[in-house]
Amino acid sequence: MSDTFGELAEIAAAPRPRRARRTRALPPAIVAAALIPIALIALPIVYVLIRSADAGWTGIAAELFRERTLMLFWNTSVLTFSVTGLALVIGGAAAWLTERSDLPGRGLWRVLFCLPLAMPAFVASFAWKSIGPSFQGLGGAILILSMESFPLVFLPLAAALRSMDPGPEEVSRSLGHGPGATFRKIVLPRALPAAGGGALLVAAHMLSEFGALSLLRVQTLTTAIFQQYELQFDNASAAVLSAMLMLFCLPVAFGEIHLRGAERRDKVGRSAVRRRREQPLGPWLWPALGFSAIVCVLALGIPFGRLGYWLIRGVSAGRGIEAIGPALWGSLSLALPGTIVTTIVALPLVLLALRGGGRIARIAERLPYVVHGLPGLVVALALVYASIRLLPAVYQTRAVLFAAYAILFMPLAQSALRASAELVSPEMEDVARTLGRGALRAFVSVTLPALAPGLGAALALVALELMRELTATLILAPTGVATLATEVWSLTSDGAYAAAAPFAAALVLISGLPVYVFTLRTLDPGGRGRKRRPRTG
Amino acid sequence: MYPLSRRALLKGAALGGAALAAGPALIAAASRPARAADGPLALYNGQHRPPVEALIAAFTASTGIEVAVRHGSSAQLASQLMEEGAHSPADVFWSEESPSLFALAEKGLLAPLAAGTLAAVPAEYSAKDGTWIGATARCRVVVYNKANVDPATLPASVLDFASEAYADRVAFAPASGAFQQQIMAVMILKGREAALAWLKGLRQYGRVYNSDSAAVEAVESGDIPIALSNNYYWQALAREIGEADVQSAIYNIGHGDPGTLITVSGGGVLKSAKNAEAAQRFVAFMVSEEGQKAIVAAIAEYPLRPGVTSPFPLTPFGELDPAPVTPNELGDAEAALALLREAELA
């Protein structure tokens, strides 16, 4: 704490030298690189505004002031707030138990808590729905989606808890503060960016969720946008709804800035690899184990059970099975490069907001979160509109699809990267620069390696999301390229559940692999992926 | 809090501008062109996949022309074709529903079909201006759960479902294209007021589902006793589960009621087609005897070409006694949408 106060005092007393020092910390090449994501994000925003204008003022007013619009707003709000709250509670508890308590089998629980990421929400929803009609509707959707989305809070939060400098905690404990007070005063403020970033992602997911909600018969702004496109062949009123959805995203996107406050969370020493004392659970051991088990049954057991059921029954079993190889290749060949593109594109925005610090940088960093709440359909149509007019040669090539992926999923990379980036001290770069490195080289040799834990989480989150991405892939993928997700979608929409089951199983398996690998890389102490020491020389 | 220095900003802007300019050029150079002019025939497909895959296999075997397919929902593909406009890489659009084709024809995106092609099926199932052709017909039906519903008690008109007697017993999918066509049929046959009252009643007493197939599955699993649907969703489900185990059945209302309505799937050639000749051949093949046989072997729809029969156990086309309206009258979805909005269903 005194560290923060000291820094605040320093800023107040001597703003000028500080400003100069901070400015040097971010190489101009990074600033330049940030213009690419900003340009990408602007595309769907401009498209939605142009198309909304097509509806005219009367059209916009007619769309806004309707009983139905009120209902859609209500459903969207209830769903978003409830699922985000539940995901924070479940993901937060899970992260604390696996990172800070003496819960037995933490390595296993860690992997289990990440695995729901591999289960696409529409597959999970179908599984739950087939148990009985009572899981349909808003209540069921809140339960099912909370269970499938809490890892978005768990993963960044666990990574943050793990890479946090234990020094201040040890100081706090040595000053006689109890574990509770230490957690509140030291750990919680430092974990908030990760938790807030994860919660933002969950909220944005809820705003844009389509497949699961339509299976569960919940009507939100997003399902209404899809319905609008199904109902008529004039995209104006769907665009008006999209513009409303973006307005809805604004408080979500900017709210977290307040959550973060002005706290400084970086560290100078590289002490985080030291082992931290675990909090004994004592009498809470059994409730903690029970909680973990129930979460795993709800989030994993039931969806996997139903998937297995469809694998062994149904007349369409085996139909189209020869397509599984091409679909698998399709998924990998789109998701893996897409992941790398998305993560690279997100990086400068994170650094810009963190180091540039100005208001414009912060707004730029938030914009992807506003667009993240838009349905993939709208972003895809924006890219159709733009690419066919500006660059017809790239239309229906992978390049346009990767741009759509970057627009849709940049915030996943951002939140994971920022959790790590905030822990990197700019002074380290200064040290490198006083040793004669240029700004860019100092950045590459000092800051980038320190981002490794966040980078792993970023790659994991984006890869998983891209594996199951459906609507943008359907519209923008090169003709003839199918993915596991698009095969599952088209087979289930023909009612061929047994035929779809192997594709769904392959999708879950192939997603489970990166979840496992990246979880180890992100969270495993001393894991091979954690090259924490900067090369100096 | 710490604004960037002017020099860093200028340097950044210059580099960024260069990156922005170079980026697209690099991407364009790295990616192959959208489609070579003499590449395979590009088909945008909104119809269910099994019949399309069967037809393509037969077409390629017969003509040697390769076909590249994009699958999607008809309405989404129609939206996409409109965004693409004259630059569209598509040659042929095969739609599950005629209103999507109607909308593309209205926007002037479809080319006229060859006279010989149009002559293969009865004229009432194709566009009046000859820009699209019906390939198969399907029927709006009532699907009911055998354990919960005695078919003898089902009403004489689909309008009767919008009443308290059926509260929480009827599933329907307002966003499905076929349901919109059913609204049009009610409007044409019973008047606008009756159609609006019907929709308001369904909203009050019925249950909204995402799609016809979801509604039929809900009936099969006992979630709800009755669904308004297209016939082939039930036939697909019956084949999936096995005739002996299926819990639901089809009820045809008949006697010209809008509850029994013929809708068509069909195809058209894009005006901007780069393979216009091959595209015309493909659509002609859709309605040829060979093509029709391939299609109806894969989905429980009625062939529109006279003389071809479906291998599925369908109610004979002649016995349906459907609502007396043609796909052309049902084509303009705008009036149906206005009614859906007025009833707060959309």
Model pLDDT for residues A368-427, shown as the tens digit of each residue: 888 888 889 889 989 988 998 888 888 889 999 999 999 999 988 887 788 777 777 777
What residues of chain A lie within 8 A of the CB of B85, using their CB? 388
Q: Work out the percent of chain A whose per-residue pLDDT is above 90.
A: 24
What residues of chain B lie within 8 A of the CB of A215, using their CB? 210, 214
Asked whether the predicted pLDDT for residue A89 surpasses 60, the reply is: yes
Averaged pLDDT, A465-488 = 88
DSSP B5: P
Q: State the best of A74, A128, A218, A232 to mutate against chain B, taking most chain B CBs within 10 Å.
A: A232
CB burial of A122-140 (b: ≥16 within 10 Å; e: otherwise) equals bbbbbbbbeeeeebbebeb
Stretch (H or E) spanning B264: strand B262-270
The CA-atom distances, in angstroms, between A134 and each of A74, A138, B19, B331 are: 21, 10, 53, 38
Q: What is the pLDDT of residue B34?
A: 41
Q: How far apart are CA A458 and CA A409, in angstroms?
A: 10
Q: Measuring CA to CA, which residue among A168, A105, A116, A113 is closest to residue A144? A: A116
Unique residue bearing structure tokens 């990440």:
A114
Chain A CA closest to residue B21: A36
Asked whether the predicted pLDDT for residue A525 surpasses 50, the reply is: no
Q: What is the pLDDT of residue A499?
A: 81
Length of chain B: 346
What residues of chain A lie within 8 A of the CB of B341, using their CB? 66
What residues of chain A lie within 8 A of the CB of B108, using their CB? none
- Banded pLDDT at A233 (limits 50, 70, 90): low
Decide if A68 and B218 are in contact by the 8 Å CB cutoff: no
Contact A419, A461 (CB under 8 A): no
Q: Kindly give the residue spans of alpha helices, DSSP state H, lying in chain B.
A: 6-30, 49-63, 74-84, 98-106, 115-118, 177-190, 192-205, 212-220, 231-241, 276-286, 289-298, 334-342
| Closest CB from A33, A394, A494 relative to B19 | A33
Q: A102-106, A152-156, A317-321, B11-15: which has the minimum mean pLDDT?
A: B11-15
Which of the pair, A14 or B153, is modelled with greater confidence? B153
Q: What tens digit of pLDDT does each residue of B165-186 get?
A: 999 999 999 988 899 999 999 9
Q: How far apart are CA A509 and CA A467, in angstroms?
A: 11
What residues of chain B lie within 8 A of the CB of A224, using their CB? 346
| pTM for this entry | 0.80
Q: What tens digit of pLDDT does each residue of B35-49 get?
A: 445 689 999 999 998
Decide if A381 and B80 are in contact by the 8 Å CB cutoff: yes
Those of residues 197-236 in B touching chain A at CB distance below 8 A are 207-211, 213-214, 216-218, 221, 223-224, 233, 236
Q: Does residue B9 belong to the interface with chain A, where contact is any CB pair within 8 Å?
A: yes
Q: State the best of A138, A396, A405 to mutate against chain B, taking most chain B CBs within 10 Å.
A: A396
Q: Which of A18-32, A276-290, B54-68 has the highest mean pLDDT?
A: B54-68
Asked whether the predicted pLDDT for residue A509 surpasses 90, the reply is: no
What residues of chain A lie within 8 A of the CB of B337, using their CB? 231-232
Asked whether the predicted pLDDT for residue A177 surpasses 60, the reply is: yes
Decide if B223 and A39 are in contact by the 8 Å CB cutoff: no
Q: What tens digit of pLDDT does each residue of B87-116 get?
A: 899 999 999 999 899 999 999 999 999 999
Q: What is the pLDDT of residue A217?
A: 86
Q: What is the pLDDT of residue A267?
A: 52
Q: Does residue B26 belong to the interface with chain A, where contact is any CB pair within 8 Å?
A: no
| Closest CB from B72, B84, B210 relative to A215 | B210
- Banded pLDDT at A8 (limits 50, 70, 90): very low
Q: What is the pLDDT of residue A266?
A: 55
Q: State the best of A400, A479, A492, A493 to mutate against chain B, taking most chain B CBs within 10 Å.
A: A479
Q: A179-188, A430-439, A527-536, B130-139: which has the minimum mean pLDDT?
A: A527-536
Those of residues 242-261 in B touching chain A at CB distance below 8 A are 242
Q: How far apart are CA B85 and CA B80, in angstroms?
A: 9
| Closest CB from B15, B71, B73 relative to A230 | B73
Q: Work out the percent of chain B whose per-residue pLDDT is above 70.
A: 89
Chain A CA closest to residue B177: A231
Q: Residue B45 phi/psi, 5° resolution?
A: -115, 120
Chain A CA closest to residue B25: A391
Decide if B346 and A475 are in contact by the 8 Å CB cutoff: no
Q: How far apart are CA B234 and CA B239, in angstroms?
A: 9
Taking one residue from A and the other from B, the number of pairs with CB-CB distance under 8 angstroms is 206
- Banded pLDDT at A258 (limits 50, 70, 90): low
Q: What is the pLDDT of residue A345?
A: 93
Q: What is the pLDDT of residue B22?
A: 46
Q: Which of A187-191, A390-394, B136-140 has the highest mean pLDDT?
A: B136-140
Which of the pair, A196 or B115, is modelled with greater confidence? B115
Decide if B80 and A384 are in contact by the 8 Å CB cutoff: yes
Asked whether the predicted pLDDT for residue A224 surpasses 70, the reply is: yes
Chain B CA closest to residue A390: B24
Q: What is the pLDDT of residue B314?
A: 92
- Banded pLDDT at A24 (limits 50, 70, 90): very low
Which of the pair, A192 or A317, is modelled with greater confidence? A192
Which of the pair, B78 or A439, is modelled with greater confidence? B78
- Banded pLDDT at A523 (limits 50, 70, 90): low
Q: Does residue B167 belong to the interface with chain A, where contact is any CB pair within 8 Å?
A: no
Question: How close B318 gets to chain A, by Cα (Å)?
Answer: 27
- Banded pLDDT at A494 (limits 50, 70, 90): low
Contact B342, B196 (CB under 8 A): yes
Task: Assign residue A56 a region (left: φ > 0; alpha: ψ between -120 and 50; beta: otherwise).
Answer: left
Decide if B175 and A231 are in contact by the 8 Å CB cutoff: yes
Which of the pair, B90 or A495, is modelled with greater confidence? B90
CA A201-A92-A164 angle, to 5 degrees, is 95
Unique residue bearing structure tokens 């139903």:
A306
Asked whether the predicted pLDDT for residue B154 surpasses 50, the reply is: yes
Q: How far apart are CA A468 and CA A118, in angstroms?
A: 9
Instruction: Please enumerate in sequence order all residues whose Cβ is within 8 A of that of B117, keeping only pairs 6 or more positions apart, or say none.
Output: B133, B280, B283, B284, B287
Reading the block at residue B93, the tokens are 């659009």
Q: Distance between alpha carbon A89 and the CA centroid of its chain, in Å?
A: 17
Q: Measuring CA to CA, which residue among A239, A196, A511 is closest to residue A369? A: A196
Q: What tens digit of pLDDT does each residue of A100-156 get?
A: 889 999 888 988 998 898 888 888 887 887 777 778 889 999 999 999 999 989 988
Q: What is the pLDDT of residue A353?
A: 78
Q: What is the pLDDT of residue A2?
A: 38
At residue A231, what is the residue type?
A: L
Chain A CA closest to residue B11: A28
Q: What is the pLDDT of residue A459?
A: 86
Q: Measuring CA to CA, which residue among A267, A307, A354, A395 is closest to residue A3? A: A267
3-state secondary structure of B250: strand
Q: How far apart are CA B179 and CA B253, in angstroms?
A: 16
Q: What is the pLDDT of residue A381?
A: 86
- Mean residue pLDDT of chain A comes to 80
- Banded pLDDT at B328 (limits 50, 70, 90): confident
The CA-atom distances, in angstroms, between A15 and each of A492, B1, B191, B280 are: 61, 10, 75, 73
Question: How close A220 gets to chain B, by Cα (Å)?
Answer: 12
Which of the pair, B109 or A447, is modelled with greater confidence? B109
CB burial of B158-182 (b: ≥16 within 10 Å; e: otherwise) equals bbbbbeeebeebbbbbbbbbbbbbb
Q: What is the pLDDT of residue B242?
A: 82
- Mean residue pLDDT of chain B comes to 88
What residues of chain B lie within 8 A of the CB of A495, using their CB? 213, 216-217, 233, 236-237, 240
Q: How far apart are CA A140 and CA B77, in angstroms?
A: 32
Q: What is the pLDDT of residue A495?
A: 63
Task: Assign residue A283 a region (left: φ > 0; alpha: ψ between -120 and 50; beta: otherwise).
Answer: alpha
Instruction: Please enumerate in sequence order all residues whose Cβ is within 8 A of that of B209, keeping only pairs 6 or more positions apart, or say none.
Output: A217, B171, B172, B173, B215, B218, B227
Task: Assign residue B307 a region (left: φ > 0; alpha: ψ between -120 and 50; beta: otherwise).
Answer: left
Which of the pair, A162 or B132, is modelled with greater confidence? B132
Q: What tens digit of pLDDT does each residue of B211-263 get?
A: 898 899 889 989 899 999 999 999 988 887 888 899 999 999 999 999 999 99
Question: How close A131 gets to chain B, by Cα (Å)?
Answer: 10
Unique residue bearing structure tokens 């960044």:
A156
Decide if A36 and B16 are in contact by the 8 Å CB cutoff: yes
Q: Does residue B20 belong to the interface with chain A, where contact is any CB pair within 8 Å?
A: yes
Q: Residue B303 phi/psi, 5° resolution?
A: -70, 140
Asked whether the predicted pLDDT for residue A451 surpasses 60, the reply is: yes
What residues of chain A lie within 8 A of the CB of B207, using their CB? 217
Decide if B13 and A486 are in contact by the 8 Å CB cutoff: no
Decide if A393 and B34 are in contact by the 8 Å CB cutoff: yes
| Closest CB from B42, B79, B99 relative to A235 | B79
- Banded pLDDT at A536 (limits 50, 70, 90): very low
Q: Does residue B180 belong to the interface with chain A, where contact is any CB pair within 8 Å?
A: yes
DSSP string, A339-408: HHHHHHHHHHHHHIIIII-SHHHHHHHHHHHHHHTS-HHHHHHHHHHHHHHH-GGGTTSHHHHHHHHHHH
Q: What is the pLDDT of residue B49?
A: 87
Decide if A32 and B15 are in contact by the 8 Å CB cutoff: yes
What residues of chain A lie within 8 A of the CB of B50, using their CB? 494
What residues of chain B lie within 8 A of the CB of A66, using their CB? 341, 344
Contact B151, B161 (CB under 8 A): no
Question: How close A179 gets to chain B, by Cα (Å)?
Answer: 34
Unique residue bearing structure tokens 């395979």:
B40
What residues of chain B lie within 8 A of the CB of A493, using their CB? 211, 213
Length of chain A: 537
What residues of chain A lie within 8 A of the CB of B79, using their CB? 229, 233, 235, 381
Averaged pLDDT, A187-216 = 84
Question: How close B80 gets to chain A, by Cα (Å)?
Answer: 7
CA B294-B298-B301 angle, to 5 degrees, is 95
